[in-house]
Amino acid sequence: MGTPFIAHLEPTALEWERGLPPDEQPNAASIPRTFLDAMTVRTQVFVQEQQVPQSNEFDADDQRCAHWVIYASVNKTVAPAVTDPATGEVLRPRQSETQSVPIGTVRLVPFPHPPHPVKGGVYVDNELVGSSSSDSAEDNNNNNNNNKTTTEPPAAEPTTTQQRTFTPDRPTTFHDGVEPYVKLGRLAVVKEFRGRGIAGQLVRTATEWMRTHGTYFDPSPAARGFEHLGMEQTAGALPPRWNGLLCCHAQESAVRAWEKCGFRVDEGMGRWLEEGIPHVGMFLRVDVEPQARAL
Ligand SMILES: CC(C)(COP(=O)(O)OP(=O)(O)OC[C@H]1O[C@@H](n2cnc3c(N)ncnc32)[C@H](O)[C@@H]1OP(=O)(O)O)[C@@H](O)C(=O)NCCC(=O)NCCS
C-alpha cells in the first residue's frame, strides 16, 4: 500500500436516493466524488458487513456534515496474462495499474443534535423504537440525579435537519446538557486495511480540522435570524459557540480505537442499541485554536 491521502468535503447539498448503493445513484453526476467514495466505504462496512439496511445508511445529517475519506494506492490487474493453451507460454503479461481506492471514512455532525440516547434504548434509523430490558434495569438500579430523566423518551427525531432546535438535554458525565458539541460518526475502515492506524488518522484529521476551524459551525443569528436557526430570541441570550467539545456514539467493539484518539467513555450516557449494535457515548475536549476563535 502506498502512502494514504485524505480528501475533505465541507457540508454540501446531496441528491441521494436512500435505498440505493452509491454505484446505482441516479444523480451520481452531481454528487461530489468524495461523498460517493465515503458511501462506498460505508456500504461495504455497515451495510454488507454489519447488515445495516442500505436505506438507513444515508441520513438527513449527511448534507450538513463535513466528511473525510482516506485513499490507498493499490496495484490492480486491469487485464489478466494471456498464455498459449498449448505451450503455456506467456503471450501477453498481466497488465496492472495503480489506482486510488477509498479505504476509510468519518463524518463530523455539527450542533444542534437530537437528545442523548435513552439508556437501554433501541434505535432504528435514528428513531427510538423500544428498550432493551437489561439496560433499562441498570437504569432503574442507578437512579440518581444525573439520570433521573433517562427513562423518558426523547422528543421524536425530526425528519429533516431544518427542524432541529437548540434544546437543553439531560446532563451526562462529560456534558452539562447545554454546551454545543460536534459529533464524529460513521467511522469505518474496510476490512483488509484495519489494524494499521487508519481510523486513528481519520479521527485525528477531523479533530484537528475542527480545532483549527472552531467557529465554522457557530450560528450567526445576526445573519440568519433566530427563528431560522431554531433558537428562541430572549433578552441577553447568547448564540451557541463551540468550545472544543467532541462526542461520538461508539460501537462497543470500537471503543479502543476512539480511546487511542483521546475519547473517554461517558458512563452517564449509558448503553443503547443502534441498528441492533451496542453503543456507548464518548467525549473528547480539545483546545480551540485561538486564531479560529478570534475570527
Ligand atoms: C473500528 C474501526 C474503524 C477501526 O479501524 P482501524 O483502522 O483498524 O483502527 P486503528 O488501526 O486506527 O486502531 C486503533 C486502535 O483500536 C484497536 N481496534 C480497532 N478496532 C478494534 C476492534 N474491532 N476491536 C478491538 N480493538 C480494535 C486497534 O487494535 C488499535 O489499538 P492498538 O494500536 O493498541 O493496537 C474498524 O475496525 C471498523 O471499520 N470496524 C467496523 C465498523 C465500526 O465498528 N465502526 C466504528 C463505529 S463507532
In order of their start, the domains of the chain are 5-217+238-294 (3.40.630.30)
What is the Cα–Cα distance from 181 to 281, expressed in whole angstroms?
Answer: 13
Each residue's pLDDT tens digit, 177-235: 999 999 999 999 999 999 999 999 999 999 999 999 999 998 876 666 667 666 666 66
Residue 257 Cβ < 6 Å to ligand 1: yes
Is 90 exceeded by the pLDDT of residue 274?
yes
Which of 46, 51, 52, 54 minimizes the C-alpha distance to 22? 54
Q: Does pTM surpass 0.75?
A: yes
10-33: b or e for each residue (b if 16 or more CB lie within 10 Å)?
A: ebeebebeeebbbeebeeeeebee
What is the Cα–Cα distance from 110 to 216, expressed in whole angstroms?
Answer: 9
Which residues, other chains included, contact 107 with Cβ-Cβ below 8 Å and sequence gap of 6+? 38, 61, 62, 65, 66, 67, 68, 184, 185, 186
Would you tell me how many other CB atoms lie within 10 Å of the CB of residue 264?
A: 15
Residue 45 Cβ < 6 Å to ligand 1: yes
Identify which has the larger pLDDT, 115 or 165: 115
What is the Cα–Cα distance from 126 to 114, expressed in whole angstroms?
Answer: 9
What is the Cα–Cα distance from 241 to 244, expressed in whole angstroms?
Answer: 9
Residue 198 Cβ < 6 Å to ligand 1: yes
Cell 423518551 maps to which residue?
A: 153
Q: What percentage of the chain exceeds 70 in pLDDT?
A: 81
User: With 0-12 CB in 10 A as exposed, 13-18 as middle and 19+ as buried, what is 162?
Assistant: exposed
Residue 26 region by backbone torsions, left for phi larger than 0, else alpha for psi between -120 and 50, else beta:
alpha
> What is the reported pLDDT for 163?
61
Confidence category of residue 159, pLDDT binned at 50, 70, 90: very low
Residue 154 Cβ < 6 Å to ligand 1: no
**Whose C-alpha lies nearest to ligand 1, atom 17?**
257
Residue pair 254/261 in contact by the 8 Å Cβ criterion = no
**Whose C-alpha lies nearest to ligand 1, atom 5?**
199
